[in-house]
Amino acid sequence: MQFIKFGINIDFIGKRKIAYIFSAVMLLISIGSLIAHGGPKYGIDFAGGTVIQVKFPDAVAIDDIKAGMNAMGISASTVQSFGEAKEHEYLIRTDSSVDPDQNFNQSVADALKSATGRETEIRRVEMVGPQVGQDLREKALFAMFYALLFITIYISGRFESQWFKSGAMAAGLILAVYILSRIHLSIPVLIIAALFITLVLFWFLKLSYAMGAIAALIHDVTITVGIFSIFGKEFSLPIVAALLTIIGYSLNDTIIVFDRIRENLRKLQKKTLGETINKSINETLNRTVLTSLTTLIVVIALFTLGGGIIHDFAFALIVGVLIGTYSSIYVASPILLAWQGK
């Protein structure tokens, strides 16, 4: 399907400085929001505590729900409506870890009925201990870090035939991260430092394709997490799955562009690198737009029709698809050009 006419020649590379400014602003806003909020707003998976989903026959006041929980000796840190308004469902989150047995469910139902004057249906109760939440948080960070690291090995081997060099570098980084994690260094600080060192090593080892790809992926993940922080959405295990999906999607887009750049570098030797990169982006633009549109149709359908359980997951994918498409054009390729120019 030819969605974009053949031979189109949009000057993407000529607008790269505007893209740099846009990306820098988005990154600063995202990082600033994360700093202001003290990091992501962790869900029960990572922070620990208890989540209770309840359903009423009609609307009730949130303050009444909190009063009912306080009567049980459980302080509800947040109470929010869940799903469509006509369903009258609410999520109650508390930092306390409780034993979600049948007696507890009945006690909650009785307390909320007494406080609200309405019958209460307990839909689900989920509890995660604080130590389990911390372990899950650390494993999620490691999962994203190792995904990025192994991706760079593949990029370096496929486009630059540097399997040994990139593999040795990755092995050294993995060993260093493992040793530092044993001395109880903060995991987020450790991962950020390791990613920074990775970019520096790519620069000195002249792994330009890998550096462009990893920079684009860090760009995508940071902005997505930042947007979650701005909108006050919870960061949970499904969101980690969404971020890993975004990494794969963005990488696939970047590889398509890089592959065309590599082909055109052999065929168009009289053109400058900037012209070759710009032509390659235009030649793959039809595929990029079609893939992004079809993916967006699916995730928007999930976002609007999928219900509250996967609402945040679908929202993360919408943001990730948009940012990933942008970064494959305006981040990965311009970094490759900047490195070659240097």
- DSSP codes, 233-301: -EE-HHHHHHHHHHHHHHHHHHHHHHHHHHHHHHH-TTS-HHHHHHHHHHHTHHHHHHHHHHHHHHHHH
Range of the domain at 307: 13-43+132-341
Per the CB < 8 A criterion, the answer to whether 51 and 93 are in contact is: yes
- Considering the chain, what percentage of its residues have pLDDT values greater than 70? 89
The one-letter amino acid at 178: Y
pLDDT at 74 over 90: no
Are 275 and 303 members of one domain?
Answer: yes
Are 214 and 109 members of one domain?
Answer: no
Instruction: Please state the pTM of the whole predicted model.
Output: 0.80
Residues in the chain, total: 342
CATH code of the domain in which 223 resides: 1.20.1640.10
Domain count, the chain: 2
User: Kindly report the CA angle at 10 between 7 and 11, in degrees rounded to 5?
Assistant: 135
More confident residue, 189 or 265: 265
Task: Spell 59-86 as b/e; 16+ CB within 10 A means b.
Answer: ebeeebbbbbbeebebebeebeebbeee
- What one-character DSSP code corresponds to residue 15? G
User: What are the pLDDT digits (tens) for 125-148?
Assistant: 877 765 656 677 777 777 777 787
β-strands 234-235, 41-42 pairing: parallel
User: What are the pLDDT digits (tens) for 302-336?
Assistant: 888 877 778 888 999 999 999 999 998 888 888 88
More confident residue, 169 or 298: 298
Residue 289: how many other CB atoms lie within 10 Å: 13
User: Kindly report the CA angle at 101 between 106 and 57, in degrees rounded to 5?
Assistant: 35
Nearest-angstrom CA–CA distance, 78 and 53:
12
pLDDT of residue 317: 93
Are 35 and 106 members of one domain?
Answer: no
Are 118 and 235 members of one domain?
Answer: no
**Nearest-CA neighbor of 78 among 97, 63, 57?**
63
CATH code of the domain in which 100 resides: 3.30.70.260
Q: Is residue 1 part of a domain?
A: no
